[in-house]
Amino acid sequence: MPVTNVDVNLDSLVMTIVSELSASPQRVWQLWSDPRLLEKWWGPPTFPATFVEHDLVPGGRVWYYMSGPNGERVDGWWTVDVVEEPTHLKFTDGFADHEGSANLEMPVTTTSVRITALDGERSSMRIQTHFASTQQMQQVMDMGMEEGMKAAMNQIDALL
């Protein structure tokens, strides 16, 4: 199981998930840079993701949707802010309509991914999600973000 720590800090409006993975930083980076690999872990097992657009460059756009077991569909978007292969990715993340347009009535977050080499062929991946307000953070937590991210990330071992 790759997730080693989850910290939800309502005071600083940050959720941090740390995982340890049996792969080099370059291999872990591929989990983000290859949309077909990203599809295999970004959504939890019951809500797999499909990436429609995936332009992982500064200023690039990512559009995806997750499909639920009862036919539900939840769309999301990213605007890519920073790409420093293979160690750092930062993007703005939000909900979208079924055409990929931002739904600004829902929370928008900033996510920072840091990949660090550990001993041997192992890496640490730290994902920090920053929220704009306590209300927005609570709304997303009530939707199951913490459990969903843990379930999603725990699928990574099988890909490595």
- Domain count within the chain: 1
What is the torsional sign of CA 37, 41, 45, 51?
negative
- Extract the tokens encoding 152: 């999603």
Length of the chain: 160
Domain with 93 in it: what CATH number?
3.30.530.20
The verdict on residue 148 lying in a domain is no
Separation between Cα atoms, residue 1 and residue 154, nearest integer Å: 6
Q: How confident is the model at residue 70 (pLDDT cuts 50, 70, 90)?
A: very high
- Extract the tokens encoding 10: 């309502």
Q: How confident is the model at residue 36 (pLDDT cuts 50, 70, 90)?
A: very high
Span 11-30, pLDDT tens digits: 999 999 999 999 999 999 99
- Give the phi and the psi of residue 142 in degrees, each rounded to 5: -65, -25
Structural domain of 27: 3-142
The verdict on residue 36 lying in a domain is yes
